[in-house]
Each structure stands twice: as C-alpha cells, then as structure tokens.
Chains A and B, each alone.
Chain A
Amino acid sequence: MTSWLKNLMKKRIMWPVGALVVLILVNVLYRPSFLKITVLDGRFYGSLMDILRNSAPLMLVSLGMCLVIATRGIDLSVGSQMAISGAVALTIISHSPTPNSLATVLGAIGVGVLITLLFGIWNGFLVALLGIQPIIATLVLWLAGRGIALLITGGFITTINSAPYKTIAQGNVLGFPVEFLIGLAAIIVVVLLVRRTALGVLTEAIGINPAASRLAGVRSRGIIWSLYGLSGLLAGVAGILYSSNIMAADSNAAGNGIELDAILAVVLGGTSLAGGKFTLGGTVVGVFIIQTLASTVTFLGVPSANVSVFKAAVVIVVVVSQAPMVRNWFGRQFRSSKTASPTATPVAMERTAA
C-alpha cells in the first residue's frame, strides 16, 4: 500500500475520528474524571469502560449493517431480530430444569442465534433472489419480528435466574467486561472475514456497479444473500447481550430503534448509503460516537425525553456535510481561485452518471 493511499484512507476516517475527539474533549472539560479508569477487585471501572461495554450490541448490529449497506441494501429488521433471539434463548432457559447449567445456556444461545441467522437468510432470499427492494423486504421482519418474539414468550416478559447467562453482560474476564470482549471479538472476526478473504472487495464491486460485477462473473446473489444472513446472526448475538443485561426477554424494548442508530453509525463512519466503498473502522468509530453522545447527554443532565433532539442535531450535521452541494462548496473554498469554473464539477458528475 503506498503512502498516497494511506493518506486517502486517513482522510476518509478523519471526520468521524475528529467528531469523537471533540466529544471526548467536551466530556473531559465538564468532568475531568471522564478518562479516569480505576481498578477495583481486579476490574476496570470508569466512564470509558461503561461506554465500551454498553456499545457492544450496537457494535454487532452496525458491523452487519455496514456490509449490507455496502451492497446498496439496508436491514431494518435488526432490532426485531434482537427481540427474537432474546425471546428464544430465555424461553428455552426458563423451561429448562437446569437453568444454571452451562450446557443449557450455550444451547439456548445457539438456538436463538441460529434462528436469527435463518431470519437473516430469509431477508437475503427476498432481496437477492426475489429482487424486492431491501427497505421493503426487511420492513416485513421489522413489523413481524416483535410479534414473533411475543408469540414465543406467550405475550409476557420472560425473566430468568441463570448465573452463566448473567455472566455474558455482567461478568468480567481479565478485568474487562465480557460484553465488551464479545464486541471486540466480533470486530476482529468481521474484519478478518472481510479483508482476509475477497468478500470485502467483491462486496464493494457489487455496490459500486452491480451490472458490471455480474458481467465480470461475481456471484452477487450469493454474496448479498450471505451478508443479510451475517447481519441477522450479529443481531441475534446482540439480542443475547441485551437480554442478559436485564435478565429478561422484553420483546417490545429489545433493540427498539437500534436499526436507525446502526444506520447512523455506518453513515457517521463515512460509508455512503449509496453503497460501494465501506469502512468497518469508520463504523466502529461511529458506534463510539453514538455511545459517547448518549453518555454525555446523560451526564449533562438532559432529560431522557430530549435525547433524541441531540441525536437529531448530529444527524443533520452529518447528512448535510455529506450532501454533494455542500461538499462542492467546501471543495471550492479550499481550491485556489485560478482553477476552472466551480460549477463544472457538479455538471461533470451528472454526466458521468448519465
């Protein structure tokens, strides 16, 4: 990789990283203890650790979302899928005579995640094989998912007592929260999967130019299909984390609205909703921005009812700064005045598209 390309990569990720740094600085300014990490009983404590821990479910969902978006798709069903995996796992554990056995818990998690994998494959079937628009195809499960979850729990919030299951969200390994380690593991696995194989570059090819990819022999269908499956699988794991946190399967609250946070994280990270080029690193940063923002808002004492207004402000800034008109305007400010007429750029873009 040449230094030129490295510079370009840096530029792409500069925006989100800058935003995260600004957010952290604001926090440090108002509460100097923000960066402080204390060690108690061999565990790490502190605001940063909380952010790392709490970001795990969104992290899992956003990684899947990023890849789906790269194919020009979207997965609205991830929140509902979280509800399903939680409902399945907890129902199994609550009906088991041995809720405290590790085997029961692992089995329950396995079945819960497997089922969301199947639902992800269902999404992929609608999109890749039947050619239904992704937003509509995944809207089906967005609508139906919570109903299915309620069906599984019989309309109740299932609660359980299970020590191994509790460990997932509340345990620690080597001083780090297990939940954070699961998120970290997911990042590593997905990055390796995407970048050590050709999945990443083929996904980008499909997203940039589907027709050319097909003629070049890329098995677009299979790839798109598997990515929706992967998104379902990751949402399933996120659902396990969520239910382990509250030790209950709350089908209405689990992952409620997380699909929009995930889309936001992906876009904040610098991946375009138009598909094509994607950056998992940017998505990770995007997730941390959202989580830090949530923490900041709580700390500043903003009533929880008004949190969405803060998020909205961030969305506006991000979306507006990504608009071609604004980008061109910025570009013009930085370009020397002797270059050709500034209006040439948008016209030329339109032509290439035509």
Chain B
Amino acid sequence: MVDNSVVVEMRNISIEFPGVKALDGVDLTLRAGEIHSLLGENGAGKSTLIKALTGVYAIDGGTINVAGATRTFHGTADAQDAGVAPVYQEINLLPNLSVGENVMLGHEVRGKFGINWKATHEKARTYLKELGLDVDPRSLLASHSIAVQQLVAISRAVVIDCRLLVLDEPTSSLDRSEVDQLFAVMRRLRGRNVAILFVSHFLDQVYEISDTMTILRNGKLEGEYPINALNKKQLIEKMLGRELAELDSISRAATRKIDRTGEPILKVLALGRKGAIEPVDLDVFDGEVLGLAGLLGSGRTELARIIYGADHADHGAIQVRGEHVRFAKPRQAIDHRIAFSSEDRRAEGAIADLTVAENIVLGVQAKRGWIRRVGSAQQDQLIAQYMESLGIRPNNPNALLSTLSGGNQQKVLLARWLATAPQLLILDEPTRGIDVGAKAEIQRLVVDLAESGIGVIFISSELDEVMRLAQRIVVLRDHRKIGELKNSAKTGVDDIVAMIAKEGAA
C-alpha cells in the first residue's frame, strides 16, 4: 500500500442553521490513498459536512487541517487552493467544448502563439489514458453519456493535482457497467495517493469500493470504522439509530386494535410511477397509523407524493372510501380530505415570510378559494384553537413563521392541515430535524389524531418511531414494496432491518 498520511483532518466541526444544529462536534479524517465513505440518512448532516469541507459553508466551531496546516475556508476557491476538488452529481463542465478543453481548462499548453491546441489535446489524451479512459479528447463533451462526462470531471482532478477528491452521489445516475468504470478510475486515483471521499446511498457500492467509513446521525458523529468492522445490518442500525423509548405510553399505541372490517379510507391498487416506485398495494383504515419504512431512496416519499397527486401516477388506481378517484394535482386529493405534509419543510411546507396565523389559515383558505375569505372571527378561533392544542411557541400568531424553531414550524404546518379536517393525513418525516422534545409532542399528536378516527400514513427514517406509532408497517426497498408486517408486542426494529438487509435483487 501507499503512504497513509492524513490529508484532511476535520475536528469537532459544528454548524448551526437558524433553529437547528446541523452538525454538532463531528470529526472526519481523510488519508492519502484511501477511499472513505460518508454515511448517514437524509438530514444526518452529510451534505452539510461536505459543504464545510469544500468551503461552501463557513463553520461555526471546530478546525479544518489540510496537510497539517489549519485552514479557514472563506469560499470554494480557498478550498480548491488547498487541493479539495469536489465532483457533484450535477456536473460542472462546459458541454459545448471538447473533452480535451474541459480536462485542461485553465491548464492549456502554451506555445509561442498562445495556446497550442494540438499539444493540449495530446496531453489531455495522456491524462485520460492514465485513468484508463479511451475517449477522443477532440470530441464534444455533450456527445458523451453522463457517466463519461463524470469521468472527465474526475480526470480534471489529476490535471489540477488535487489531493482530495469529493464524490457526492456520483453513481446515482449510472448503470452497473458505468459504475464499474468509475470504480476503476477511483482505484487508479487511490493508487496515485489521492484521498477520496465517497458518498452514496447504495450500500453495496460502499462495501465494494471503500476502505473506511464515517457514519453520521442527526448531525452527530456515530463513529469511524474500517469497512470490514460492520456488516450491512450493523451499519443500517448505526445509520438509523435505535433511540430507546422514553415514550412508553406511546408505544402501546402500536398494538391498538383497528377495525378493518369496513371500507378503508384509502385503498391503493398497483399504484406506481416509472423510475419512482414500482406498483404498490396498500390500504389505510379509520383510526389506523400505517408506517412506511425503508432507507432513503427506497421510494417512500415518491409513493406518498403519488398518492397525494403531487406527482402523476402512470399505473394503478386509488379508491377513497370505495370510490374510484384520480388525483392529477394536490387540489383534488385535498378535496377528498387527504392532507400531505412534505419531508422538505423549508421548500415545500413553510411560507416563511407569512405570519404563523396566515400559515395556519392557508389550508382552509386555499380550499375555499380566494373569493370567500375566511372571516376574522373564524380565523381567530382556528388560530387560537390550534396554537393552544399543539402548544406552538412563541404564542404569537403575528410572528413570521421563519422566526420559529423547526419543531414549532412543523406544528404550524400540522395545524394548517388539521384545520381542514382531513380524514387521512400523510406525514413524510414529520420529526426530521427537530429536537427531541418537539419530536415526542408530534408523536403524541399522531397517536391522539389516530385515536380520534383519522387515518395516518407515517413515514420516517427512524424505525423506532415507526414501530412505536404504526399498527401496520409497509417496508420498501429499491423502489419496491418488499413486505408488510403487523405490529405486535413481538415484532421489533430487528424484523424490519432484517427485511431490508436481506439479500434480494440488489
């Protein structure tokens, strides 16, 4: 093997966003000639850590050492000067230039009369050859597949002589043979003593290519392990976490008897969308919490969005209380008293610059249309009722939503939906990124709502949470439903983990 000197050492890194601690004392050590995987569920802090490393975010605490010297990154240029070259999923190249021009951009061979294009392209060819890429440097970049373009982006790392390459989900749009090609290039770079940080949600690929892994959870460091120290099941457990139930009273909710004899609120038959989720059957009954479990990218959110009409289904059917319906847009689902709270609170839920009151009333108002404004008296009554029952803090309906903490914003969004009196509530990661106290309150609320007769589809990365709340759990993996289990005193997180980890059509 090659020398294993430390290239980058991040110690005790903390980054705070308004209202939430995105990273809390995280360490990351990247060594020369090592492929290092960064693992964690969505929201665990992976991309935040990468953005700190590549200079996109300034860190609020901790130190970054590059080759032994402490560095402060004020921007991405600082990071690139230090030899950190990120290759992002969406590729930052110039598609209308040739491959060679892209590879050599800024490092063209110069002669007496300016740039010597012949020599430049020759040099590009040598660099590409070194990485085992047989691409004509004079061909137009845009004429190549995404995979090849990505490899060209990576080969730039050799030209600028970088010491650390950051690959953020590079395989997400590649097929198997392209992945093999990418891995071959990565191994060659490793041989040249480059440190590589690899992020992928395909765990099989992580095991295939990496030497070491660092696991994050909820913005905190779970640990650094050699790749062989954990098997896949242990890894999933570390990623998902197993919070011990401080919420025993809630856990009994999972075994509550549900009357499934009548007509379900929602029945989904072979509902699917190409590339998002393969046809799925499921149903939800009055007062039932149906959990959707699975790793990130397993199709949980995709399924929820299709049910709600946020995305179009290209297959299957939906029945609401036995009546066949088609949802081409959310509006139609809402008219059938179905509500959906998105996992991306900031982009798809909160109207940040409106007040808490306006946000709460928005759902009811949208339902009525703009002409019939909800009367002041009714508004005040709705606002008071939900701010009180959900315990929204600060207790000021005129505060802008953006000034509230994540947990309180989430409560406001729930209030928005509850005010529309839904019969079915789809909650996608309602407890992500909020503190433990608010988390418990929202779980409690879900239980209360279900007991009052509302059906709930509950999506969460945290299996403990799903086990605690749901009477039935649908398990998804690789955009497919791989099973469904009834929650009972005997079932545990292990059953789901085993189901997901079980070798199948990987």
Interface residue? A219 (CB, 8 A): yes
B351 touching A215 by the CB < 8 A rule? no
Contact with B along A165-177 (1 / 0, CB 8 A): 0000000000000
Taken together as a complex, chains A and B put the C-alpha atoms of A5 and B354 apart, in Å, by 12
B334 A217 Cβ-Cβ under 8 A? yes
Q: Are A212 and B371 in contact (CB under 8 A)?
A: no
Residues of the A chain whose Cβ atoms lie less than 8 Å from the Cβ of B331: 217, 219
On chain A, the residues within 8 Å of B330 by CB distance are 214-217
- Say yes or no: B370 contacts A2, CB within 8 Å: no
What is the CA–CA distance of A216 and B349 in the complex, to the nearest angstrom? 8
Q: Which of B57, B340, B354 contacts A205 (CB 8 A)?
A: B354
Cross-chain contact A351 with B57 (CB below 8 angstroms): yes
Which chain B residue lies CB-closest to A207?
A: B353
Across the interface, B350 reaches (CB within 8 A) one of A5, A204, A209, A277, namely A209
Q: Are B18 and A209 in contact (CB under 8 A)?
A: no
Q: How near does chain A come to B168, taking the closest CB pair, in angstroms?
A: 14
Q: Is A213 part of the contact surface with B, judged by Cβ < 8 Å?
A: yes
Chain A contacts of B369 at CB under 8 A? 198, 219
A352 B18 Cβ-Cβ under 8 A: yes
Please indicate the chain B residues that have their CB under 8 angstroms from the CB of A196 in the complex: 373
Q: Mark B320-347, 1 if CB is under 8 A from A, else 0.
A: 0000000001110010000010100011
Contact A351-B347, Cβ < 8 Å, known A208-B353, A215-B330, A217-B330: no
B362–A205 contact, CB under 8 A? Answer: yes
Given A198-B373, A348-B18, A351-B57, the answer on whether A216 and B366 have CB atoms closer than 8 Å is: yes
**Cross-chain contact B373 with A209 (CB below 8 angstroms):** no
Task: Check: A126 CB closer than 8 A to any chain B CB.
Answer: no
User: Across the interface, which residues of B come within 8 angstroms of A211, CB to CB?
Assistant: 347-348
- In the assembled complex, the Cα of A5 lies from the Cα of B340 at a distance in Å of 31
A201 CB-CB contact with B under 8 Å: yes
With an 8 A cutoff between CB atoms, is B358 at the interface? yes
Q: Does B43 contact A (CB under 8 A)?
A: no
User: Is B347 a contact partner of A5 (Cβ separation < 8 A)?
Assistant: no
Complex: A277 Cα to B365 Cα, angstroms: 18
Q: Which of A197, A218, A347 contacts B371 (CB 8 A)?
A: A197
Instruction: Please report which residues of chain A, range 279-319, place their CB below 8 angstroms from some CB of chain B when the two chains form the complex.
Output: none
Once the chains bind, are A212 and B351 in contact (CB under 8 Å)?
Answer: yes
B348 touching A215 by the CB < 8 A rule? yes
- Determine how close the nearest CB of chain A comes to the CB of B355; give it in whole angstroms: 8
B362 lies within 8 A of A352 (CB) = no
A197 to B351, Cβ gap below 8 A?
A: no
B398 within 8 A of partner (CB)? yes
A197–B370 Cα distance when bound, in Å, is 6
Whether, in the assembled complex, A276 has its beta carbon less than 8 Å from a beta carbon of chain B, the answer is yes
Q: In whole Å, how far is B127's beta carbon from the nearest beta carbon of chain A?
A: 33
The reply to whether A216 and B353 form a contact with Cβ atoms under 8 Å apart is: no
Cβ-neighbour of B367 out of A199, A214, A217 (below 8 A): A217
A114 within 8 A of B: no
Q: Mark B34-52, 1 if CB is under 8 A from A, else 0.
A: 0000000000000000010
A334 part of interface (Cβ distance < 8 Å): no
Q: CB < 8 Å: which of B17, B342, B370 contacts A202?
A: B370
Chain A interface size, as a band, is 20 to 34
CA distance A199 to B366 in the complex (A): 10
Task: Determine if A187 is an interface residue (Cβ-Cβ < 8 Å).
Answer: no
The answer to whether A216 and B373 have CB atoms under 8 Å apart is no
Cβ-based interface call for B499 (8 A): no
B349→A276 contact, CB < 8 A = no
Indicate whether B93 reaches chain A with its CB closer than 8 angstroms.
no
| A209 near B351: Cβ-Cβ < 8 Å | yes
- Give Cα distance in the complex from A351 to B334, angstroms: 32
Contacts of A277 in B (CB 8 A): 353
**A215 engages B18 (CB within 8 Å):** no
Taking CB atoms, residues of chain A closer than 8 Å to B349 are 212, 215
A204 to B58, CA, bound (A): 32
Determine the residue in chain B with the shortest Cβ distance to A347.
Answer: B58
What residue of chain A has the Cβ atom nearest to residue B420's Cβ?
A217
The answer to whether A216 touches B374, judged by C-beta atoms less than 8 angstroms apart, is no
**Cβ B374 vs Cβ A198 within 8 A:** yes
Q: Determine how close the nearest CB of chain B comes to the CB of A131; give it in whole angstroms.
A: 14
Interface: B352 (CB within 8 A): yes
Looking at the assembled complex, report how far the CB atom of A275 sits from the nearest CB atom of chain B, in whole angstroms: 10
A208 CB contact (under 8 Å) in B58, B310, B354, B366: B354
Contacts of A217 in B (CB 8 A): 330-331, 334, 363, 366-367, 420
Q: Is B416 an interface residue (CB 8 A)?
A: yes
Closest A residue to B47 by beta carbon equals A354
State which residues 216-264 of A face B: CB under 8 Å.
216-219, 223
Q: Which residues of chain A have C-beta atoms less than 8 A from B51's C-beta? A: 354
Contact across chains for B352 and A208 when beta carbons are under 8 A apart: yes
Q: In this complex, what residue of A is CB-closest to B310? A: A215
Kindly state the separation between the CA atoms of A347 and B18 in the bound complex, as whole angstroms: 11
> B348 and A212: CB pair below 8 A?
yes
Chain A nearest CB from B402 CB (Å) reads 8
Chain A residues with Cβ below 8 Å from B366 are 202, 213, 216-219
CA distance A208 to B349 in the complex (A): 11
Does A223 contact B370, Cβ atoms closer than 8 Å? yes
Residues of A within 8 A of B58 (CB): 343, 347
Chain B interface (Cβ within 8 Å of chain A)?
17-18, 51, 57-58, 308, 310, 329-331, 334, 340, 342, 346-354, 358, 362-363, 365-374, 398, 402, 416, 420
- Can you give 30 contacting A-B residue pairs, CB < 8 Å? A1-B398, A2-B398, A196-B373, A197-B371, A198-B370, A198-B373, A201-B354, A201-B362, A202-B362, A202-B370, A209-B348, A209-B350, A211-B347, A211-B348, A212-B347, A212-B350, A213-B366, A215-B308, A215-B310, A216-B363, A217-B330, A217-B334, A217-B363, A217-B367, A277-B353, A348-B17, A351-B17, A352-B17, A352-B18, A352-B352
Contact residues of A with B, CB < 8 Å? 1-2, 4-5, 196-199, 201-202, 204-205, 208-209, 211-219, 223, 276-277, 343, 347-348, 351-352, 354
5 smallest A-B Cβ distances: which pairs?
A217-B366, A217-B334, A198-B373, A218-B366, A199-B370
- Other than A209-B352, A277-B353, A347-B58, give 16 A-B pairs with Cβ distance below 8 A: A198-B369, A198-B370, A198-B372, A199-B370, A202-B362, A204-B351, A204-B354, A211-B347, A212-B342, A212-B347, A213-B366, A215-B348, A217-B363, A217-B366, A217-B367, A218-B362
